[in-house]
Amino acid sequence: MKRSRKILLALLSILAVVQIPFIYRRYVIGKRFEQIAAIQSGRNPAIDANFAEYKGNIHVHTSLGGHSTGGFDELIAAANSNGLDFVVMTEHYSENYDTAALTLNGVFGKTLFVGGNEIDTADSDRFFMLPGGKDAAGFRFEHTDNVLSKIHSGKGLAVIAYPEKFKSWGSGFDGIEVFNLKTMAKSSNPVTLVLDALWSGYSYPDLMFADHLRRPDTNLKQFDEIARTRRISMFGGTDGHSNIGLHVFGTDTGGKLLNIKIDPYETTFRIVRMHILLPKDEPLTRESLIGAIGKGNYFTGFDAFGDTTGFRFVGTAGSEIVQQGGEASYSDGLLLKISSPVAVRMVIFKNGEKWSEQADVADHAIKPDGAGVYRVELYQDALGETGSKMPWIVSNPIYVR
């Protein structure tokens, strides 16, 4: 046998052996998919007589603002097929036109789209500006405090994007994007992620992608430190660009010989979702959505591990009910009540420190031991390391004064 043929056979053998772990992982992910379905079959979501729940995604881009190959039709189809109530667009700005005005705004099919912007300041800080506007491009020449003052004067919100790069922690921002799918994916091994996508991406795309996520400890710690001093909110952003993957030959618009896209909107919209709570007499509009985000009346759900609809975290004292994001007065009668659609491990944090933990429960009530900032993380230990290391649901805090 010629030497070149031996080398080729050796390389092919090595390539085949390398695939074995990913073939096995496909089996494991398939079993996890079945396990999630079994757990979800017994779900019992909480019914809230006073608040309606709306699910959607924040931090989404299209080719309009660059950095993306996604188009409006793909985006609308993905949002509608996933049953999303809202999508908050955060187009990158342009010096030549108002991308927030030209992106999707209004109701398309079943989904409300709100045009925002991702902006930079002269201090190298990055925010989501909600709603967006024609001033987005010019803010890169102004200091952070001045930018925030202008956004707030227009009744808008400024939420930190990419907290790991943020500098002006003493400024008056409104919230923090603690979870970012794209940033979290970048911390994974890219070769492993692509090979996983090759073997498992077709059958279990969202679960395969989510299996690479890990709890962002540093971001959560930073959030907790700020929340101890004032009210802010946190959320999980999709950072949807629909452009991660690889292709061989062809162009970005089609005709690819080999095309593996890991992050189409259809997939990322199923991984992480924001669940907004609005009074039942208040319709979902651009204004009410932005208002709820500003108040922190929502939670982050990693729905790839099962539908998180029906989670509730409230403070009650007599007839008074305080939703997450709100303030409650401390008293002997105050209870913090947690309801999960399925049995989970509930971890309650006070002022950023683990304060209480309860395993294998769907409902739990606990008395706070004094003033503090209380929030909840839910874990599905039944899903193995994936469920025990990465939270399924993360609440916004209840501020007990």
Burial (CB < 10 A; 0-12, 13-18, 19+), residue 96, is exposed
200 in any annotated domain: yes
Across-strand partners of 366? 336
215 in any annotated domain: yes
- Please state whether beta strands 111-120 and 86-92 pair in parallel, antiparallel, or not at all (unpaired): parallel
Question: Residue 70 has what pLDDT?
Answer: 84
**Is the model's pLDDT at 231 over the cut of 90?**
yes
pLDDT mean over 278-285: 96
Q: How many CB atoms lie within 10 A of CB 94?
A: 15
Domain of 280, in residue numbers: 47-310
78 in any annotated domain: yes
Residues in the chain: 401
Question: Residue 89 has what pLDDT?
Answer: 96
Question: Residue 169 has what pLDDT?
Answer: 96
**In this structure, which amino acid lies at residue 343?**
A
Q: How far is CA 214 from CA 58, 206, 297, 308, in A?
A: 19, 15, 24, 18
199 in any annotated domain: yes
**In this structure, which amino acid lies at residue 36?**
I
17 in any annotated domain: no
**Is the model's pLDDT at 247 over the cut of 60?**
no
CA distance 242 to 182: 10
pTM across the whole model: 0.90
Conformational region of residue 59, where left means phi above 0, alpha means psi within -120 to 50, and beta covers everything else:
left
Torsion angle (degrees, nearest 10) of CA 56, 266, 245, 250 = -130
The CATH number of the domain holding residue 240 is 3.20.20.140
**Is the model's pLDDT at 35 over the cut of 90?**
yes
Count of domains in the chain? 1
284 in any annotated domain: yes
CA distance 362 to 341: 7
Lowest mean pLDDT among 108-112, 196-200, 222-226, 392-396: 196-200
Contact criterion met (CB below 8 Å) for 80 and 107? no
Lowest mean pLDDT among 10-19, 180-189, 328-337: 10-19
Q: How many CB atoms lie within 10 A of CB 169?
A: 13
- Sign of the C-alpha dihedral computed for residues 208, 379, 177 and 303 taken in this order: positive
Give the model confidence (pLDDT) of 71-124 as tens digits: 999 999 999 999 999 999 999 999 999 999 999 999 999 999 999 999 999 999
Contact criterion met (CB below 8 Å) for 381 and 395? no
63 in any annotated domain: yes
pLDDT mean over 329-352: 96
Question: Residue 10 has what pLDDT?
Answer: 67
198 in any annotated domain: yes
